[in-house]
């Protein structure tokens, strides 16, 4: 009987060794430091109040030493003011969020609309969450109810209510002049 007990413990010991080795390999596997999500919504908050809602059809998270979240199939971001009201919206073809620095970069057909109806269009926009700032060094086009402004480079608060174009290329006035054009029958 003692010999049978000893043999059983020996097998148990070997199986534990194998399991621990498998667990170690599993934990060190670089593929295990990645997550994939479909139809994901992420909320950002400050002092318990939601400041932004990010939605993406696909989200890829790399959980290594420098965590990165990619949204390769597009992104929609909604930013909220202190009262919880929508202050601006952003859409883009893809985005990358650098978690450690609180920086998000949006690429491809980037469109931002603020609460006043002003619309920004560019190909790249960077959001610095901690600084409440968005900017780009790319070509921009801003449509307001009064004019269209073209330029290179742009800086704004994340609500896109206080902004400036760094190098204005030109403006086109809208409104009464366009309405006064005679109609062609």
Predicted confidence at residue 169, as pLDDT, reads 92
Q: Running DSSP on this structure, what letter comes out for residue 182?
A: P
The full DSSP string for 38-53 is: EEEEEEEEETTEEEEE
Give the count of beta carbons closer than 10 Å to the beta carbon of residue 87: 21
pLDDT band of residue 160 (cuts 50, 70, 90) is: confident
Residue with tokens 């990645």: 34
Predicted confidence at residue 174, as pLDDT, reads 83
- Relative to beta strand 49-62, strand 86-92 is unpaired
3-state secondary structure of 161: coil
Task: State pTM to two decimals.
Answer: 0.74
Task: List C-alpha distances in Å: 167 to 73, 80, 116.
Answer: 31, 29, 23
Predicted confidence at residue 31, as pLDDT, reads 56
**Candidate from 41-45, 53-57, 139-143 with smallest mean pLDDT:** 41-45
Query: Can you read off the two tokens belonging to residue 145?
Result: 């109810």
Question: What structural domains does the chain harbor?
Answer: 34-179 (2.60.450.10)
Task: Tell me the pLDDT of the chain averaged across its residues.
Answer: 81
The full DSSP string for 64-123 is: SSS-EEEETT-EEEEEE-TTS-EEEEEEESEEEEETTTTEEEEEEEEEEEETT--EEEEE
pLDDT digits (tens, 9 = 90+) for 112-152: 999 999 999 999 999 898 898 999 999 999 999 999 999 99
Name the percent of the chain lying above pLDDT 70. Answer: 77
Cα–Cα dist 55/57, whole Å? 7
Paired residues of 80 in beta bridges: 86
113 neighbors 119 (Cβ within 8 angstroms): yes
Query: Is pLDDT at 91 greater than 90 in this prediction?
Result: yes
Largest CA distance in the chain: 108
Predicted confidence at residue 119, as pLDDT, reads 95
């Amino acid at each position: 009987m003692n010999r049978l007990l000893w043999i059983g413990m020996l097998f148990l010991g070997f199986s534990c060794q194998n399991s621990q080795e498998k667990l170690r390999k599993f934990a060190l596997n670089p593929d295990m430091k990645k997550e994939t999500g479909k139809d994901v919504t992420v909320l950002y908050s400050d002092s318990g109040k939601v400041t932004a809602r990010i939605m993406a059809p696909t989200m890829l998270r790399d959980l290594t030493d420098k965590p990165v979240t990619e949204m390769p199939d597009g992104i929609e971001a909604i930013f909220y003011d202190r009262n919880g009201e929508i202050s601006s919206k952003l859409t883009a073809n893809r985005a990358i969020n650098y978690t450690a620095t609180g920086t998000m970069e949006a690429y491809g057909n980037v469109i931002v609309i603020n609460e006043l109806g002003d619309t920004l269009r560019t190909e790249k926009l960077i959001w610095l969450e901690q600084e409440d700032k968005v900017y780009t060094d790319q070509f921009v086009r801003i449509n307001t109810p009064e004019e269209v402004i073209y330029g290179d480079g742009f800086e704004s608060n994340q609500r896109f209510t206080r902004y400036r174009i760094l190098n204005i290329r030109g403006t086109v006035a809208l409104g009464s002049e366009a309405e006064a054009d005679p109609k062609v029958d």
